[in-house]
Amino acid sequence: MGLLAKAGTILAMIKFEHSIFALPFAYLGMVLAAGGIPDGATILWVTLAMIGARSFAMALNRLLDVNVDRRNPRTASRALPQGLVSVAEVVAFLAASLAVFFLAVVMLPPLCRRLWPVVLIPMALYSLTKHVTWLCHFVLGLCLALAPAGAWVATANTLPPTGIWLLALGVMLWTAGFDIIYSCQDYAFDRSSGLHSIPVRFGIAAALRTAKALHGLTVLFFCAAGAILGLGPVYYLGMAAVGGFLWYENSIISADNLDRVQSSFFTMNGCVSIAVFVFAFLAILR
């Protein structure tokens, strides 16, 4: 396998396209901190920091879970269990991702150089949480919630204000909700393997109700953030769209029919993150 093909396999393994979930919230954090479009250097280094951190986290997750993935019918075809990439190659990719992240941190304002462990530690620990607690979904949520907060710090060189923390809390609950939906696919395997999740702890039906509740709270926190940040009517129009996307995401899944989880997970969540960014951006420019 050539170098480009190998790189493509690794990017597919870490689901690089799922960066669309977090990047819009990072860009929103930048735009809010700058009060408009930030300078090109900030956009570049925040983007690279986000990509580096996420790629590190996903590569580490694949390494730590390779034996679990090998036993799980849903994940046994992934690149690492199949031998399409080696452990050494994934370690090299992980190291390169960290190098990109730290290069970006050095190029960003001084406060980023003090706070970078706040970003990497939850991402490093997430892979282990499914082995110890059903609260693992909220740890993943925390990882994505750091996107708007971290981008604010990277742009303004100050800690985020209340409105950004409310936005981040909404991101955390949104992420936990869709991760609960996604984990329902592995209910039988996780239960037999002693892994932890809300579906395993409380059952699939209760897990789906929990996801709906979390997504309802997501919209409330997004709206509260908009109120404090003074984003206005255009933003709330976007929140109505976000509420519709989340309603649809939850409505097409049931305890008796999980066939549309993939559509629910990727398509609708991509729409949510893009809609929040676009409507907030339009509100800021008005």
The pLDDT tens digits for 258-279 are: 878 876 667 888 899 999 999 9
CA distance 50 to 263: 25
* Of 61 and 6, more confident: 61
Lowest mean pLDDT among 94-103, 115-124, 231-240, 255-264: 255-264
Taking residue 89's Cβ as centre, other Cβ atoms within 10 Å add up to 17
H-helix segments, the chain = 3-13, 23-34, 40-64, 66-71, 79-82, 87-107, 110-129, 136-156, 162-183, 187-193, 198-202, 204-229, 233-251, 261-262, 269-285
Taking residue 41's Cβ as centre, other Cβ atoms within 10 Å add up to 10
Q: Which residues contact 104 (CB under 8 A, 6 or more apart)?
A: 45, 46, 48, 49, 52
Topology of domain 3-285 in CATH is: Tetracycline Repressor; domain 2 (1.10.357)
Say which DSSP state 232 is in: -
CB 54 within 8 A of CB 19: yes
Taken as a whole, the chain contains a residue count of 286
Report pLDDT for 226.
96
State whether residue 24 is helix, strand or coil. Answer: helix
Tokens (6 digits) for 222: 């997004």
Mean pLDDT of the chain: 91
Lowest mean pLDDT among 20-24, 189-193, 278-282: 20-24
Over residues 66-87, the mean pLDDT reads 87
Q: Residue written as tokens 């933003």?
A: 235
Over residues 155-167, the mean pLDDT reads 97
Lowest mean pLDDT among 203-207, 232-236, 282-286: 282-286
Q: Quickly state the pLDDT bin for 1 (edges 50, 70, 90).
A: low
The reported pTM is: 0.93
